[in-house]
Amino acid sequence: MSEQKIIKGHLSAFFTIFVWAIAFISIKVLLKDFTPIEILLFRLILAYFVLLAASPHFIKVNNLKEELLFMVAGFCGVTLYFIFQNSALNLTQASNVSVLISISPFFIAILSKFFAKEDRFQSSFFYGFGISIVGIFLIGFNGNFVLKLNPLGDILAILSAFVWAVYTLIMKKISSLNLSTIQFTRKIFFYGLLLLLPFLKIFGFHLDLSGFSTLPNLLNIIFLGFFASALCLVTWNYAVSVLGAVNTSVYIYLIPIITIIFSALVLKEKITLVALLGVLLILFGLYISGRNTKSSQA
């Protein structure tokens, strides 16, 4: 594999994580006027049609097994992941959610060992994981050392991290089919939307577009649908196809760092020395995990 392609894979992973870190704030803003299921449906519909406009051609699969891969990917990476994430943000603090979702690389590494033999990893991955998690929690506390726990919300955040790990490993298999990234991402969104329909009634979905009469809400849903969903799922899928599931996943550690920097610049929130120590620990842990040279790179 060319060095240029590997660099593009790393840039794609970083861009994806950067946008997703900001997306937590957008979701939190929209939750004032919309329910989690309403935000999810609107952003997924927008994302699907954006991808359809970008590549209107449909892909053909060779057999039922391949079709099931797309279906499970859509259910885990779109339906369940966003239901768990949005519901968690509605129940607990955004900082809690960003911290707990950051354990997804651990789930990816464990699942890779058993289900994706091409993603072998060294013990350095776990050393880096441990160091980064300490840093992540320091940023989550940001010097306050007061963690407001909401058991249900926090459990949902952990579940979102787990199903994302499952999705990332499935993406490794889908990427080996040599299909267009945009086209197979759109197919995943299609199944994600389709499998979301039974949940609409369960979560009490009501079609009400009046909330989009305000410019902030409209801009936030466009950001979530176009950038955080359509574009970022394409760039994440590309990164996984180039770097492998384990190597791509370590970028998730950067979410709390980007969130705290963005909060300081835009929301004028104070960054404490404890949080800065957390940033340094995450970066050091990322470096240690990045030495996982045995991971496959497709």
Cα 27 from Cα 23, distance rounded (Å): 6
Question: Is the separation of the CB atoms in 155 and 87 below 8 Å?
Answer: no
CA distance 94 to 140: 9
Total residues belonging to the chain: 298
Alpha-carbon gap, residue 151 to 41, rounded angstroms: 25
Contact 183, 57 (CB under 8 A): yes
Please state the domain extents for the chain: 3-290
* Dist. CA 233–CA 189, nearest whole Å: 9
Using an 8 Å Cβ cutoff, are 252 and 101 in contact?
A: yes
Per-residue tens of pLDDT for the chain, all 298 residues: 678 899 999 999 999 999 988 887 788 788 888 888 888 899 999 999 999 999 888 887 788 988 999 999 999 999 999 889 878 877 766 666 777 777 787 788 778 777 755 555 567 777 777 887 787 777 666 544 444 556 777 788 889 989 998 998 898 888 888 888 888 899 999 999 999 999 888 877 887 788 888 998 999 999 999 999 999 989 998 998 888 877 888 888 788 778 777 767 765 666 677 777 877 887 787 777 666 544 444 4
